[in-house]
Amino acid sequence: MSAGKRGRFIACEGGEGTGKSTQARLLAQKLEARGIDAVLTREPGGTPGAEAIRGLLLDPPGEGWPMRAEALLFAAARADHVARLIRPALAAGTWVVCDRFIDSSRAYQGIAGGLGDDLVRDLHEAGSEDLAPDLTIVIAADEATIAARLADRDAGVSDAIGGRDSDYHARVNAAFLGFADAEPHRFVVIDGVGELDAVSDRIWKAVSPLLDDRA
Ligand code: TMP
């Protein structure tokens, strides 16, 4: 990569059990194999402070967070992650592959949680100066595939947000598709059904245009 060139920022998004974490890892490995410096990170988390907030969010003390407090905690975790890891990496020319980013807050707290998109976007502006991914990959899958993956992954145990009812998660999944429709230049929707390698190939095709214009 030429010196001084900013890294690219790719977010992987989707509801529960879409296989997005595995695919984010495979994408980071493929970038490295192409000789591109890439860091794989996740939200909530990615820095010590944000990982501590992750614990508070997914295993909340007491009766859990009111939705506004939940949104503020996600925004605070993201602000730390952006300031301490994502922006410095991009400035150093490193590509960032992030397992979830702002569109998860828009889907889970804004749409499914009922806070509205404007409030979540305002928190992102305040916390992270509106940083947006260059490309946001939404991995979509049908309900049967998701149910099978979740049974495999969670073995009947889920966290405070993953364990919400099926209506909530249906609103999350619909929200991601709605975002992609509204901003086709920033999003690509990938069919997450099928073999890992086949899905990974679809993602690689979607990322290729970014590889071409990095020279
Ligand atoms: P994970 O299961 O992908 O690690 O994500 C943890 C949970 O946090 C998952 O249920 C989605 C949820 N989440 C939000 O509700 N809002 C957010 O902004 C993010 C990043 C995650």
How far is residue 156 from each of residues 4, 55, 111, 193, measured CA to CA in Å? 48, 19, 26, 22
Is residue 131 domain-resident?
yes
Flag whether pLDDT at 210 surpasses 60.
Answer: yes
Domain annotation covers residue 29: yes
Q: What is the DSSP string of the chain?
A: --TTPPPPEEEEE-STTSSHHHHHHHHHHHHHHTT--EEEEESS-SSHHHHHHHHHHHS-STT---HHHHHHHHHHHHHHHIIIIIHHHHHTT-EEEEES-HHHHIIIIIITTSS-HHHHHHHHHHHHTT---SEEEEEE--HHHHHHHHHHHHTT---TTTTS-HHHHHHHHHHHHHHHHH-TTTEEEEE--S-HHHHHHHHHHHHHHHHHTT-
Mean per-residue pLDDT of the chain: 94
| Contact predicate 186/174, CB 8 Å | no
Q: Would you say residue 24 has pLDDT above 70?
A: yes
> Could you give the number of structural domains in the chain?
1
Ligand 1: residue of 78, 161, 168, 179 to mutate (most ligand atoms within 8 A of CB) is: 161
pLDDT in tens, 96-140: 999 999 999 999 999 999 999 999 999 999 999 999 999 999 999
Write out the residue range of the structural domain in which residue 141 sits.
9-211
> Is residue 1 one of the residues assigned to a domain?
no
Whether 41 contacts 90, CB under 8 Å: no
At CA 69, angle to CA 159 and CA 112, rounded to 5? Answer: 60
Q: Between residues 126 and 18, which one has the greater pLDDT?
A: 126
Mutation probe of ligand 1 site: the residue of 67, 97, 104 with most atoms within 8 A of C-beta: 104
Residue 3 lies in a domain: no
Q: Which atom of ligand 1 is nearest to the CA of 101?
A: 20
User: pLDDT value at position 150?
Assistant: 77
Please report which confidence band the pLDDT of residue 154 belongs to, taking 50, 70 and 90 as the band edges: low
Residues with CB under 6 A from ligand 1: 16, 43-44, 74, 100, 104-105, 108-109, 161-162
Residue 1 pLDDT exceeds 50: no
Query: Using one digit for the tens of pLDDT, what is the confidence trace for 26-85?
Result: 999 999 999 999 999 999 999 999 999 999 999 999 999 999 999 999 999 999 999 999
Q: Quickly state the pLDDT bin for 2 (edges 50, 70, 90).
A: very low
In a domain, 122, yes or no: yes
Domain assignment present for 2: no
Report the CATH number that the domain containing residue 32 is assigned in CATH. 3.40.50.300
Tokens 């890294």 locate to: 7
Evaluated on CA atoms 168, 112, 149, 50, the torsion sign reads: negative
pTM of the model: 0.95
